[in-house]
Chain A
């Protein structure tokens, strides 16, 4: 399978705990995006990377959120001190420089109790 992969697919955590999600993009794609999708809504942009550089962050990305892409390949999204409002589907997408199509992974569904 050469698509975008995300791990874990589901995560249930208690409020106040830290969680980390991983995204592996399509191998030749140098751009990587994180989105968040809540029930009944479209995905909302969180942040994106070109190679290892984080080029844009949404206002949705509070100080409790941090994303990294240390070697320009996979990326991690960490949420510290989770809150119930963080419950959502976290989607990762990747694209190439010369193309604009973003290909999405299956998402990580986070439930904060």
Chain B
């Protein structure tokens, strides 16, 4: 069975601080994909990143960076110099290696950036 755990239910930081959102996953698959989605107050899930289990390189996109560590089954997300527009619920998700099947989501982390 697949499982995604986001232990941080809510996080609040002051604007311009860095913040890391944790994600731990469980799967028996040898190949899988990991995702992060953002859900702003409007409700629509916005795709942020997909990572293949064979690719453990960290990725940086502007103020966003992702740290994938297979040894600890973690895929953490860091926002540098946070902004008020980053306030949202962030979901980590897991997908099996059979391609285009269901996403298994964590329960999400509500991030609030305080101006």
A contact patch SS: strand
A44 CA / B4 CA spacing, docked (Å) = 12
Residue of chain B at shortest CB distance from A103? B47
Q: Check A56 against B101 for contact (C-beta < 8 Å).
A: yes
Q: Which residues of B contact A31 (CB under 8 A)?
A: 100
Q: How large is the interface on A (under 10, 10 to 19, 20 to 34, 35 or more residues)?
A: 20 to 34
A-B pairs with beta carbons under 8 A, tally: 59
Q: Check B105 against A105 for contact (C-beta < 8 Å).
A: no
Within 8 A of A (CB), among B94-115: 95, 99-108
**B contact residues vs A (CB 8 Å cutoff):** 4, 33, 35, 37, 42-47, 50, 91, 93, 95, 99-108
**A contact residues vs B (CB 8 Å cutoff):** 31, 33, 35, 40-45, 48, 50, 56, 58, 89, 91, 93, 95, 97, 100-107, 109
Q: What are the nearest 9 A-B pairs in CB distance? A: A42-B105, A45-B102, A104-B45, A106-B44, A31-B100, A43-B105, A42-B91, A42-B107, A42-B108
